[in-house]
Chains A and B, each alone.
Chain A
Amino acid sequence: MAVRTLPGASGRLGFLGLTLAYTLLVAVCLGSLAQEDELSLGRNPWANLVKTAGEFARPSFLDVWFGETQLEYRSDDGRVLRVENRRQVEADYLAGLGRATWTTVRIATLGSLLGALLALPLAVLTARNLAAPKPLAWLVKGILDAIRSIHTLVFGLVLVGIVGLGPTAGILAIALHSSGTYGKLFAEAIETLDMAAVDAVRSVGAGPVQVFFNAIWPSVLPQFVSSHLYVWEFNIRDSTILGLIGAGGLGLLITESVALFQWGRLATVLIVIVALVSAFDALSRRIREALL
């Protein structure tokens, strides 16, 4: 990358200067917040911490096996209002959680694929070694940089206003944001191409499309797949939060449990997210290693 370096930041003195500047920045952040009295931890943080941690430590899904089968809700005068089978209620909740997880996976998968497809032609235009016309390359690079710097949630909020609540908004939000990331990763993959091999294919008189499919595509495909798996995994994490804005999936359950202060249920949802992301991470790492 031919990025211009910050003048005066290189060398030992430059590094010392950078360290000083960073220390100063941290001090200013801390000092100003303290002065505005915004650094308080609330009235009794320890008691709250212990209480919250205790509720987190008992994830709600345990009730499926250990919950009361005859939980009675009584009014103040002792009348039985309702009898609830906790095991049944939590089992139903888990079924809903399963459906939400499936929605999240679908949003991430389709969003990632759409983002990758959107990014592919843009990456070809921005890769320096393929020499697209300069103004076009700059324009596309600007677009990629801009959409990469806008958060998925922001895209989501705007898209919910356009296409309405539901997974479609989530898919489009994921696709738009990650096409910026894909564009950069794909372009870098193309830039590491072995141009001698490309020239060799060109030298037997192959046409441009033949050159693309015989020299460029086979060389960059493994890196494309690897980037795709990486961004896909990232998007699974990202789409769990999209429910916050009404795009459906796990995020919706998070909002629900946070609003009702049901930390046990939140713990259950978080366990599912962690399991999902780590499983996908392990799988995609194995696939990526097999490809290279």
Chain B
Amino acid sequence: MTTPSIVLDGIVCMAGGRAVLEIPQLNLAQGERVAVVGHNGAGKSTLLRLLTGFVAPAHGQVQVLGRQLVHQVSAETLRALRQEVGQVSQGLHLVGRLSVLENVLIGALGRVPGWRGWTRCFPAGEIVRAEAALQSVGLLALAGTRADRLSGGERQKAAIARLLVQAPSLILADEPTAALDPSAAAEVCRLLVEAAAGKTLITVVHNPSLLPLLAERVIGLKQGRIAFNLPVGEVDDTTLMRLYRPEDSPQKACWEIPSASKELAAIGSKP
């Protein structure tokens, strides 16, 4: 638990001329499970994209799994890094026209070079592995179904099966339960944590009830800065409310603004 998985040092990320993420110092150990919370635009997704090299920092140093992501990272380094970083995000991230099994096998692309990777003629061992992954998320019966025929929950499970095949040492999940009903969300979280056993897991999540399930530590982001970094047991409603409260109304959280609640009541009372 002492090897650092991620080291951020003096990070500033710019977008459209303003800083969207400023992190002076952040270390995550190998095998840690961390949740990132914060309002929309707080820099959560930017943080995840920073760790996979999809976003480059304007200043500072990023070290992920022992690799330095400096300004000009070679495509080979990025590809090697991405093979070790598994990602699950909300919404559309499966190739809709490929079957569920083919989507899961995409996780193996990093290990399958040359024509086999181009023609999707995967070695038998990878297919066995993919079927085992589908079995463990309970989707084996749908292996031949096209991915765009799946429900939201099934898609996320397929994405987790892809993670299992990819076997990364760091998993980044960007609101994996955003569009799911509560029971599906809980199941996806359970599978995600199972898949992340012994690996570093960073999850961006909005639903506070899922925090204990997903994380040991919670990082609160507010306007691109770290507002708190606490063990999950110390994060309570007040901490979260303070995080989500807009700057211009210091006393009340946004869901307490009287006019808004009146409008909601009016909508609710309509037949």
Contact = CB atoms under 8 A, between A and B. Distances in A.
Given A196-B91, A213-B120, A204 B96 contact: no
Contacts of B117: 206-207, 209-210, 213-214
B103 to A, nearest CB: 9
B118 A210 contact: yes
A214 B115 CA distance: 12
B92 A194 contact: yes
A219 B97 contact: yes
Interface in A198-227: 199-207, 209-210, 213-215, 218-219, 221-222
Contact of B166 (A202, A204, A218, A222): A204
A216 to B, nearest CB: 9
Contacts, number: 81
Residue from the set A196, A202, A205, A213 with the largest chain B CB neighbour count within 10 Å: A205
A237 to B, nearest CB: 31
Given A197-B96, A200-B94, A201-B95, A209 B118 contact: yes
A113 B117 CA distance: 27
B201 interface: no
Interface string A220-241: 0110000000000000000000
A205 B87 contact: no
Nearest to B172: A203
Contacts of B166: 204
B85 interface: yes
A200 B109 contact: no
Contacts of B44: none
B92 A197 contact: yes
Contacts of A205: 78-84, 109-110
Interface in A178-207: 194, 196-197, 199-207
B82 A203 contact: yes
Contact of A196 (B93, B98, B107, B109): B93
B173 interface: no
B120 A214 contact: yes
Interface string B65-93: 00000000000001111111111010111
B183 interface: no
Interface residues of B, number: 32
Interface string A161-184: 000000000000000000000000
B52 interface: yes
B119 interface: yes
Contacts of B85: 203
Contact of B98 (A199, A204, A218, A222): A218
Given A201-B109, A218-B98, A206 B92 contact: no
B83 to A, nearest CB: 3
B217 interface: no
Nearest to A203: B87
Contacts of A201: 95, 106, 109
A196 B147 CA distance: 14
A201 B108 CA distance: 10
Interface of A: 194, 196-197, 199-207, 209-210, 213-215, 218-219, 221-222
28 contacts: A197-B92, A197-B93, A197-B94, A197-B95, A199-B93, A200-B95, A200-B106, A201-B106, A202-B82, A203-B54, A203-B85, A203-B87, A204-B82, A204-B87, A204-B109, A205-B82, A205-B83, A206-B106, A206-B117, A210-B118, A213-B117, A213-B118, A213-B119, A214-B98, A214-B109, A214-B120, A218-B97, A219-B97
